[in-house]
Amino acid sequence: MKGSSVPAGEGSPAASVATSTSPGLRPPTRRGTELVMLAFAAGLVTLALILVELNQERSLSLRILWLGLAYLGLFGAAHLAVRRWAPYADPVILPCVALLNGLGLVVIHRIDLAFEGVTLPDGTVWDPVAFKQVVWTGIGLVLFAATLKFLSDHRTLARFGYTFGLAGLVALMLPGVLPGFIAPEINGAKIWLRIGPFSIQPGEFAKVLLMVFFAAFLVSKRDLFTVAGRRFLGMDLPRARDLGPLFAAWGVAVAVMVLQKDLGSSLLFFGIVLVLLYVATERAAWVVLGVGMFSGGAVIGWKLFTHVQQRVANWQDPIGRYDILGGGYQIAQSLFGLATGGIGGAGLGAGRPEMIPERNTDFIAAVIGEELGFVGLAAVLLIYMVIALRGLRGAISVRDSFGKLLGGGLAFALCFQVFIIVGGVTNLIPMTGITAPFLSYGGSSLLANYILIALLLRISAAARAPQRAPKPKPQQPAIADQHTVMVERPK
């Protein structure tokens, strides 16, 4: 057998170290493809920035090219980190993330331009946030590289499952139980922690931590969940005592809903738990039960809390409740924006994003829909789909079940988050405040999502890497197999 050749430009020193013992074929690492796609993404983002500046009638300068190159450099560094520490990682995920993040930066910058020098109704001057988001992107990429470096095998995470679970639970509940001066209530949701000049949203990190916990927990207790219980309506219902974790998750989700008035996170969290349970046990009964329980909880929440009633009423009739305080104004403006965009969009920098409320966080999808139109928004959603697709692909082909569960859960979490926020913006489901991953302004969300992507890349690298050669053992061939050697007596 010959060592197979590696395409020019795709073999890296790291790759050859990892597989130098492999005698047979060596699958391509495809890092070259990743670099080309990254350059494409950088070109697109630079073009988007140029279009924004042109449409805002600002003078073009070489500065834009430098910004584009800096952007390429930033993700080039991330690419090198992948090349060094996860040479077999999926080649499509990073460029897709880079494009989404870049588009988000351009749109946030574009919103800054719209508010340049404008005094807001409450008397303050608009504070440009694009630069802050660039800094957050940089920190996010550093965290991304660090995750890849220090986590050389995703299976080590399973060992700290309970620690992660506790940390995640604390992070999720912390803003809800802390007093108002550390955890202020912003826009009716109590999900922020204020530490000095920074505000962080610990719930974003809790999402990833809890996913690690549930994957580890389910892998170790999987058998308990598949024990057949009572049959009911043609389904095998799980035994009551095995329902414990599901009830716990339900309790936490409802508690978060009550304490923090954060509907989006509780929906996201519960959805993740349910999907992990379903993937682990392959039983539809869990999904039916879980959806039933969540609906029950949602109906109770709707009966008890006015803010839930408001959201539902705004969802049913956003335009009719346009003038009511806390009414459908936000969603109606978002729908107007989307309608203005139509099929082809108004053009980057030519829309009126200042008309849309919460334009650079929750409703950023509406801004994109207005300026890039249905065609552009569909492309953005497809890019999310590609990321999730590749994440699931890695989860299917990875060789251990913890990796499968975690990868599937992470990919689903990303998808579900996009569904919740874009569904809210387009009025498909009641609006719940949650960020659009990588697009929205917000440090915590960006950092947590970069860690999530690093974990997905780690799992896909484990799935795609050739199997490691078993440890070389000083093996003596069986006596019958040994060659007969003529030994001459030394003279």
Partner 1 sequence: MQLTRAGFLVLLWLFVLAALRVVRSDLYAASGLRASGLPGFRRSEKSARGSKAPRQLVVTHGALTGTRISLDGRPILIGRADDSTLVLDDDFASTRHARLSMRGTDWYVEDLGSTNGTYLDRAKVTAPLRVPLGTPIRIGKTVIELRS
Q: Which residues bind partner 1 (CB under 8 A)?
A: 1-2, 4-7, 10, 22-25, 27-28, 30, 33, 37, 40-41, 44, 47-48, 51, 54-55, 90-92, 95-96, 99, 155, 219-220, 222-223, 344-345, 347-348, 350, 372-373, 375-376, 379-380, 382-383, 386, 389-390, 393-394, 396-397, 399-402, 404, 460, 463-464, 466-471
Closest distance to partner 1 from the beta carbon of 331 (Å): 26
Closest distance to partner 1 from the beta carbon of 375 (Å): 5
Return the number of the residue (100 or 434) whose C-beta is nearest partner 1. Answer: 100
Q: How far is CA 455 from CA 89, 303, 371, 407, in A?
A: 10, 40, 33, 8
Closest distance to partner 1 from the beta carbon of 399 (Å): 6
Return the number of the residue (297 or 369) whose C-beta is nearest partner 1. Answer: 369
Closest distance to partner 1 from the beta carbon of 424 (Å): 23
Return the number of the residue (33 or 199) whose C-beta is nearest partner 1. Answer: 33
Return the number of the residue (240 or 396) whose C-beta is nearest partner 1. Answer: 396
Distance from C-alpha of 128 to C-alpha of 125, rounded to nearest angstrom: 9
Return the number of the residue (112 or 400) whose C-beta is nearest partner 1. Answer: 400
Distance from C-alpha of 35 to C-alpha of 91, rounded to nearest angstrom: 8
Closest distance to partner 1 from the beta carbon of 467 (Å): 5
Distance from C-alpha of 142 to C-alpha of 151, rounded to nearest angstrom: 14
Q: Number of helices (H) and strands (E) in the chain: give both, helices first.
A: 16, 4
Short-list 395, 407, 390, CA closest to 157:
407
Return the number of the residue (52 or 431) whose C-beta is nearest partner 1. Answer: 52
Closest distance to partner 1 from the beta carbon of 185 (Å): 38
Residue with tokens 């936490």: 252
Displacement of CA 352 from its chain's centroid (Å): 28
Return the number of the residue (119 or 220) whose C-beta is nearest partner 1. Answer: 220
Closest distance to partner 1 from the beta carbon of 253 (Å): 27
Q: What is the DSSP letter of 243?
A: G
Query: In terms of C-beta density within 10 A (0-12 exposed, 13-18 middle, 19 or more buried), how is residue 125 classed?
Result: exposed
Q: Indicate the SS3 state at residue 320.
A: coil
In DSSP terms, 193 is beta-bridged to 200
Return the number of the residue (16 or 401) whose C-beta is nearest partner 1. Answer: 401
**Mutual orientation of helices 364-397 and 93-114 as an angle, nearest 10°?**
170
Q: Determine which helix (DSSP H) or strand (DSSP E) holds 236, and give its type and residue range.
A: strand 235-236
Return the number of the residue (319 or 381) whose C-beta is nearest partner 1. Answer: 381
Return the number of the residue (326 or 466) whose C-beta is nearest partner 1. Answer: 466
Q: Of how many residues is the chain composed?
A: 491
Closest distance to partner 1 from the beta carbon of 326 (Å): 36
Query: In terms of C-beta density within 10 A (0-12 exposed, 13-18 middle, 19 or more buried), how is residue 480 classed?
Result: exposed
Short-list 250, 151, 264, 154, CA closest to 203:
264
Short-list 483, 472, 457, CA closest to 89:
457
**240-268: b or e for each residue (b if 16 or more CB lie within 10 Å)?**
eebbebbeebbebbbebbbebbbbbbbbb
Return the number of the residue (81 or 380) whose C-beta is nearest partner 1. Answer: 380
Short-list 361, 369, 379, 377, CA closest to 336:
369
- Cβ 462 vs Cβ 399: under 8 Å: yes
Distance from C-alpha of 446 to C-alpha of 418, rounded to nearest angstrom: 14
Distance from C-alpha of 414 to C-alpha of 445, rounded to nearest angstrom: 11
Return the number of the residue (231 or 468) whose C-beta is nearest partner 1. Answer: 468
Closest distance to partner 1 from the beta carbon of 111 (Å): 18
Secondary structure, 3-state, 239-291:
CHHHHHHHHHHHHHHHHHHHHHCCHHHHHHHHHHHHHHHHHHHCCHHHHHHHH
Return the number of the residue (297 or 345) whose C-beta is nearest partner 1. Answer: 345
Residue with tokens 């030394």: 490
